[in-house]
Amino acid sequence: MRHDRNPQYTPPEKDVLKVVMAATRFDKLMLLCYVHTGARKMEVFRLKWHEDVDLKLGTVRLGTKKNRMKTTVYRKLPMSKQLWSEMQWWYDNRKHKDSPYVFTVQQGRYEGRPFTYRRTFMEYICTQAEVTPPFGFKALRRFFATSMVNKHGKPMTVAQRFLGHEKLSTTEVYIDNINEDLREFADLMTMEEIEEEDQKEQA
């Protein structure tokens, strides 16, 4: 059934920074993976050392099955200097050195296992940072795409490659103010010009 798509919330940069700064260093690394690559939630949860994270080349490989053939499609992306630095620190200081996974549960019943969900994490960290409304992992993906296009002026196709979308139209859904580049053209027709056109037609 077709339905209207409700607009989804994209947090402002100041709130994203507050959340990142409120996190522990381990959680900060996870958040940076989303903020600096536009990754999907499970793409980060499934990251493995060496296989997906190459510290020598400074790259991260993300994979998803969200495609027509339902096969895993990978994309290799460069890590920012900050993300690489934090990733290197975690590799040297990680608690579960025998695990191939980058992110493992640090304590409790499932300690040492890779994350499969963190249902209350984002709400908790937003509360700690005094950020309202709270937002989730997918909002960070929208923040990445919006910042790349609107703030840094990168082509939509670049955002598409980072996000791993087959269609450019899918990327457009993630970006707020997609028609900002049309503003200068919209302003060309002022109210005075419209009134002049009406007067000419009436004459």
Residue 80, classified by CB atoms within 10 Å of its CB into exposed (0-12), middle (13-18) or buried (19+), is middle
Taking CA 141 as the corner, what is the angle to CA 136 and CA 142, rounded to the nearest 5 degrees?
95
Q: What is the CATH number of domain 13-199?
A: 1.10.443.10
Domain boundaries, the chain: 13-199
Query: With a cut of 50, which residues of the chain have pLDDT below it?
Result: 1, 3-4, 178, 194
Structure tokens, 64: 């998803």
Dihedral sign from CA coordinates of 158, 161, 167, 173: negative
Three-state SS at 47: coil
pLDDT, one tens digit per residue, over 93-130 is 999 999 999 999 999 999 999 999 899 999 999 999 99
